Structure 1
């Protein structure tokens, strides 16, 4: 039997599996390194839940107790609805949608849940000291059943206090103005520092007795119990590290976790990105800031990976020519890097996903995020081949392209070139896009505030779109001919103008940074040129592109402006672009797209069940091998993770 990529489906979600291709060829030392790093990755799970909402962990535990109770009837509609709700909570690390950020609506009643909680053993419930079951219900039920209570995990609505209207748990009792003033003061105090920290990255900002202060996430601070478990497994990984450079980066990461000192994080990032020799690599820590409406606080995430040797040839070709791409960029020469440093890129196989990278994960990553480190030392990019492969395998024969692509000629173009160009655009986005350009001297990296994530993603996407159409890629052997790029241009514009709307609830606007970025690019090109049209045939809307070369010129113009905004820190221009092109949804078109998509009976979101890594022991109790199992169900994996890695509740 072949490998089954698709697993169960519920709500708007489809669970997939990914294969660890070539894992059996790793040495025993490398397998042990993957195993230890995977344990460090899985232990961070509870941090992500807590970061995404202060009540998430208690709600998860409460629902899990009901779900596994052997005396609970499982054959009624209320229990089945509770099961779906719990699976969504597991998937999103909380009670808000992982992508749209709106709160889930339960399909069961408050009366049913209260009655069920009175039937289970009270000692298993997450009760506070002296708290009754009814008191717990009174505290937690509004979070589940009242639509007005914490309705959005991350609110990006212009003109509102983004902290007081967001449910994320990075700030407690602090207004947006207070938070911005707090970190602006820190920057002013350290403005002469030539290695500035990523202010606020690893702390909760709270107000105590009227004073704003940070609760730092470290071994003897907030999340300390979890962090100490992570450190334990990082030390085990240190013992089997591949080389001294990798040992050094692990040591610095441990020091950062022990102290919470962001300068240690800077040193770790530099050491990590300079490790070009290790076949096994990992991400572990407070990294991406999309979960914070101010773009400061890092959500915890983990990823363990090993190099896909064959596919890495593509990304290495790109990175080896990074200076050429930078020199020929259509942006103002003031904003280009005179010397591109330290750009490395690999195609990798994911071996374990954790935190904000699980169950939904990125297909490409470029780190570190600090602009000054990128400028001085470069960046490291990865494209995740086995995740991309799983997505591609699962989408074959879905009927999606046939429904939304305008004509047979374009459909044939996409079938011929689509997979190649999708992978290549991801590579260009991660390897070169994020690492391109430079800030002008004195520009604050956080000057764009709530719009920074959208602008940065648009910048990287535009860089990739511009160059995927360049003859240089044919010369380098990265695309087969000068027609291939058209498949990417078409699918990108179709997605940005129409099909990404399948992920939006009717009546909502675009909130997520990547969705806003795609909408910004597609709508700007649509409105500022005459090459993209939305045509209607037999009641269905289609995208038509009349001049691909002219579309590339539009992309070049927008890239130049987006880079200017980033380089100059032009907040007002960023705000104007995003609010004008990237937020609003055409209700009529949205309804049509949803109706057409519904008839395909597809899930708009995908996520992954991790493989299970299992050590084999010899007669002396030493690990003699690590085997891989793909048999674990989604619910079993989530319950096992709660039992084995539940460190905060």
Structure 2
């Protein structure tokens, strides 16, 4: 495979994720201190992310920060170039672009797509740059990772026995999918949640590494083994140094909690991160759901399981944010109307919760999002029983939705469409509606039919002939496995677009889109956004491995394909290399039921398969829908050729001053600004 496919982005838009206005508006100094300590706790988990990506990622991280230090902490790209005089300025720029992208992804694999990226500066020239710094520590650290930085043999994250890489299984290049599944089954049978674990394969045993500050083995008395008799041991204290810092910062936050619920929340966090108990983390999420409309919102832990090829091990995330009251008012109105919209979704009420409990739905301005990437919206917690019994929260991240560079490096051209002005006019509004419906009614809808304990069910078996359901202690992700994340993201995306097209006169006015012309425009742009995203998703499909590298894009491709097969749009081109490829929507079909029926058929089927734990039929159906046939694969080369770099988001830091007050520091929108923001965190 050509190394060019792996080059780090060049001239990526760099955006300061500004939160100063809302941080300064917090109602008390104690709230600022609370946010500060939670931010520090969140960022101290960064090395857990690095360790889960690749063996070399922690060393590259240290190298980038050490280079910055040894060059006397330059404050601009130009200062870097001046401090490295004698090195081609373009090569210095290529290094800085790689460093900024590495920090943005917290590793040398893209968080969005799981593909490795390497510097555009050649290996020999980077060696010269390192030599120019003339520092023994820098040279020693670089020597440890030089070859790994440029090696693209295992260019995707995935199962090691498939020729891919996953550092959720460190030092275990020979571990197989079957062996991973066997360990997961043993953990599940023992009631051990695996989100905060990694697994090493040894001689005639597996070692489960558990993230915690303490090294006390909570499971020493279990004598656990796989079904075929291989011993499973536990080693607590994975990332112990960092988790001790996390615990300390959470203890520092305790005096500044706003209420008893927050006190319980932080206390359970401390227990979980100190001992490695995921049961304590689940308790924290119950308290988090109960903590309604706090001024400072935070959720911390091993949350999403997308990057583990088995789909069960989580990646560290730490969110700290302030409420945007104006935007939250819109979402509150959406919550009030949720029951009415859910009734329009294409499945029988038998497959819906008996009572929809309106969640807390807020628009937040992100102060901190520690992890490998910042989403636009969140619907958590992911524990099925907590969602069912206590509820969940929907969060829209306002300053992420509206993040655009103050001084763009070049004029933006939207690929594969003709309606440039209309698209730019309405895309933010259409995306805000999409995110709101996706999180609230997509992830928030539906009932899992379950045998809650032997012989007891959460549904009336006499009223249905369903043959499958969730057994006691089974979870949605556990049953549907590695494809569960993509499957669910597709279902949530379908809910959003389905409702936008089915009931625009009820949905869109909630977001201030009132006139028929504006509603027609948003229906069109929302559809165009989804279809174009599906086309762009081809970048994240590997034709050799036949593997999707990004769950959201797999789902969006499947939706695009469904609409294409229904005749809602067509691809127009005259050039044999598709360089003039355009998406052309048949607008009447957005209004006459064609698009709604196509989306409804797809959505209803996905939902019922999920609700009934029908893994075999559900995955067969979904994987066929997201299969990339030749009529779509032929566009992949032009998609890659025309791809635009993703935005790099620079987050602020907070500093506790000697007088006890907290100040917020924001950074220049440049590659060096990104490096400075991480250097100042000292994690």
Question: What TM-score do you get using the length of structure 1 for normalisation?
Answer: 0.84
1:441 equivalenced with 2:450 (yes/no): yes
Q: In the aligned structure 2, how far is the partner of 1:65 from the partner of 1:34?
A: 28
Matches within 5 A, 1:508-523: 510-523=548-561
Contact 2:538–2:557 (8 Å) recurs in 1: no
Give me the whole-angstrom Cα distance separating, in 2, the residues matched to 1:500 and 1:626. Answer: 41
Partner of 1:3: none
Tell me if structure 2 keeps the 8 A contact 1:315–1:431: no
Q: Deviations over 1:463-510 (max 9, x none)?
A: 111222314325757642563452344323432443445677998864
Q: Alignment partner of 1:212: what SS? A: strand
Count of residues paired in the alignment? 600
Match of 1:152 in 2: 156
Query: Unaligned regions of 5+ residues in structure 2, if any?
Result: 1-7, 72-82, 215-236, 452-469
- Offset of residue 421 of structure 1: 2.5
Residue aligning to 1:454: 486
Q: State the Cα deviation string for residues 53-86 of structure 1 (Å, max 9, x = none).
A: 1221123334554565458555326554433333
3-state SS of 1:404 partner: coil
**Counterpart residue number, 2:320:** 304
- Hey, what does 2:49 align to over in structure 1? 48
Distance 2:613 2:411 in 1: 43
How far 1:257 moved relative to its partner? 0.7
Within the alignment, does 1:534 sit opposite 2:571 as a pair? yes
Aligned: 1:202 with 2:196 = yes
Q: 2:268 aligns with which of 252, 274, 282?
A: 252
1:568 positional shift: 2.5
For residues 196-245 of structure 1, the C-alpha deviation after alignment (integer angstroms, 9 at most, x for no partner) is: x6x21001112233212311101121111111111111122111111111
Question: Cα offset for 1:142?
Answer: 3.4
Structure 1's 246 and 81: CA in aligned 2 closer, same or farther, altered over 3 A?
same
The question of 1:225 aligning with 2:241 is answered yes
Q: Residues 101-180 of structure 1: matches in 2 within 5 Å?
A: 101-113=114-126, 124-125=137-138, 137=143, 140-148=145-153, 150-154=154-158, 161=161, 165-173=164-172, 174-180=175-181
State the shift of 1:565 in Å.
2.2
CA distance in 1, matches of 2:424, 2:148: 45
1:57 is matched with 58
Task: For structure 1, list consecutive stretches of 5 or more residues without a partner in the other structure.
Answer: 1-8, 128-132, 191-196
1:471-620 aligned at under 5 Å gives the runs: 471-473=505-507, 479-481=513-515, 483-484=519-520, 485-501=522-538, 510-527=548-565, 529-536=566-573, 539-545=580-586, 546-548=588-590, 549-584=593-628, 586-594=632-640, 597=642, 603-616=644-657
CA distance 1:399–1:61, change in 2 (3 Å): closer
Cα 1:15/1:502, change in 2 over 3 Å: farther
Q: Give me the whole-angstrom Cα distance separating, in 2, the residues matched to 1:475 and 1:82.
A: 47
Deviation at 1:530, TM superposition (A): 2.8
Deviations 1:529-556 (A, max 9, x none): 2332223368433232241132012111
Find the counterpart in structure 1 of residue 13 from structure 2: 14
Counterpart position of 1:428:
437
Distance 1:430 1:392 in 2: 26
- The alpha-carbon deviation at position 337 of structure 1 amounts to 0.9
Q: Is 1:24 the equivalent of 2:10?
A: no
1:179-190 to 2 correspondences below 5 Å? 179-190=180-191
**1:336 CA displacement:** 1.0
**Corresponding residue number in structure 2 for 1:82:** 95
Give the corresponding residue for 1:5: none
- Are residue 381 (structure 1) and residue 418 (structure 2) matched? no
SS of match in other structure, 1:622: coil
Q: CA deviation at 1:372?
A: 1.7
Q: RMSD of the TM alignment (CA)?
A: 3.2
In 2 relative to 1, CA 428–393 (structure 1 residues): closer, same or farther, beyond 3 Å? farther
Deviations 1:555-578 (A, max 9, x none): 111110111221233333344344
1:81-125 deviations in Å (ceiling 9; x for gaps): 433333332222222233232222333444455566667677625
Q: Give the direction of change, closer, same or farther, for the CA distance of 1:231–1:497 in structure 2 (3 Å limit).
A: closer
The answer on 1:349 being equivalent to 2:365 is yes
Compute the displacement of 1:50 (Å). 1.3
Match of 2:307 among 288, 291, 295: 291
TM-score using structure 2 length: 0.80
The equivalent position to 2:106 in structure 1, one of 54, 73, 93, is: 93
Q: Secondary structure at the match of 1:436?
A: coil
Taking a change above 3 Å as real, the CA distance of residues 310 and 109 of structure 1, as seen in their structure-2 partners, is: closer
**Mapped partners of 1:326, 1:335: distance in 2:** 11
Asked whether the equivalents of residues 494 and 543 of structure 1 are also in contact (C-alpha less than 8 Å), the reply is no
CA distance change for structure 1 residues 493 and 423 in 2, over 3 Å: closer, same or farther? closer
In structure 2, how many angstroms separate the alpha carbons of the residues matched to 1:461 and 1:395?
30
1:10, 1:48 → 2: CA distance?
21
1:242-269 CA-partner distances (Å, limit 9, x unpaired): 1111111111111111111111111101
Task: Work out the CA distance in 2 between the residues paired with 1:633 and 1:379.
Answer: 37
Any idea what SS the aligned residue of 2:635 has? helix
C-alpha displacement of 1:294? 1.2
Alignment partner for residue 500 of structure 2, among 455, 468, 490? 468
Separation in structure 2 between the aligned mates of residue 55 and residue 477 of structure 1, nearest angstrom = 45
In 1, the alpha carbon distance for the partners of 2:106 and 2:672 equals: 14
